Each structure stands twice: as C-alpha cells, then as structure tokens.
Homo-oligomer: A and B are copies of this chain.
C-alpha cells in the first residue's frame, strides 16, 4: 500500500500548495478544479486518486471539498490513463480555467518554458464518438498527439464544445509538481493581467 500512501500524501501537499496560493483563485472554472495522480500502470479510475468533491472556492479562497481518494474522479482519471499510454511518466494532471486571452498567454508561457502547447478542437469531434461512453477520451488524446506530432504536451486545452465548458489541463510527474506549476502560472497571469 506504500504506493497508494505516496500518491495520497502527495495530493495532500498539492492541496496545501493550492490553498496557500494568493492568485490561484483566478484560474477557477465553473466546473471547479480537480487534480489527479495515478498509480503506475493505472488502467481504471480506481487506480487514480483525486480530490473528493473537487477543489472549490469558499470565502473567495481555494478549498478542497473533501479528502484525496482513489476513484474520486471520472473524467480527469480517464484522461490521465489515456495520456499514460503515450507517456507513462505523466501520471498527474490538473484542470483549470480557459479563456481566449488566458490561452494566448499560456501559449507564450509554454514557449518560454520550452513546453509543447496543444489544443483539442471539440468541434472536430465526430458525433458518433462523442456520444459513446469511453470513446471520447481516446479520441481526444489521439488529437493531442497528432497536434504535436507524437509527443504529449505538458499544457493543453479543450476548446469550448457544445454544452461543454472549455478547460486548460496541465500535466506532470506528481501532484505537487503540477500544483507548483499551476501556482506559478497563476502568479504570472495575475502579474500580466494587472499590468495591462
């Protein structure tokens, strides 16, 4: 069970990092935030830990609604499982806000960092895939890989879809790593936004 303890404890530290951040609130989307961290060789949502109840805002401060738990996420868990088929080291991910302006900012940010930045164009998703449970996620991740020409991008977005809020996703090797990166992004974005 030591692998599970490492993952759950890493998520605890990631939540502390996000809750203590001053600017991360600026990245809150309507669907709220989740952060996932998968066991090696994860193949189903029960192999992936996430924050139960997601991460929300209480008194305008970032707050986890529940504890980390294996099986607490469905969408983000299936995303990371499909990502790991292409890059087994990228076992953690976080989702946050997408807006056209934030997207342009992140594109430049990724370039400075030497990261790939990609997007999944939900308009291109074939209807017959979208509506079959379990078909959508493999299609999305293939789109990402096609976009970059073979590599998994550290940062990407899902553009607005029909009835779907657009979101940015950041990937990494641990929950703490993606939390630290997400906080750094929020700090740079706060700085950029106030300087306009």
Within 8 Å CB of A163, what residues of B?
Answer: 160-161, 164-166
Which residues in A have some Cβ–Cβ distance to B below 8 Å?
A: 1-2, 4-13, 15-16, 30-32, 52-54, 56-59, 63-69, 160-166, 176
Complex: A54 Cα to B31 Cα, angstroms: 11
- A and B contact pairs by CB, cutoff 8 A, 16 listed: A1-B13, A2-B6, A5-B5, A5-B7, A6-B6, A6-B9, A9-B11, A15-B67, A16-B67, A31-B165, A32-B32, A53-B57, A59-B69, A64-B67, A65-B65, A164-B165
- For this chain, the copies found in one complex come to 4
- Chain B residues with Cβ under 8 A from A6's Cβ? 2, 5-6, 9
A16 touches B165 (CB 8 A): no
User: A59: which B residues are within 8 A, CB to CB?
Assistant: 52, 66, 69
Q: Give the residue of B2, B16, B32, B69 whose beta carbon is less than 8 angstroms from that of A56.
A: B32
Residue of B nearest to A159 (CB): B163
**Residue pair A12, B12 in contact (C-beta under 8 Å):** yes
Residues of B within 8 A of A65 (CB): 53, 56, 58, 63, 65
Whether A4 contacts B13 by the Cβ 8 Å rule is yes
Point out the residue from B1, B15, B64, B165 that lies within 8 Å of A30, measured CB to CB: B165
In the complex, chain B residues whose CB is within 8 Å of the CB of A58: 52-53, 65-66
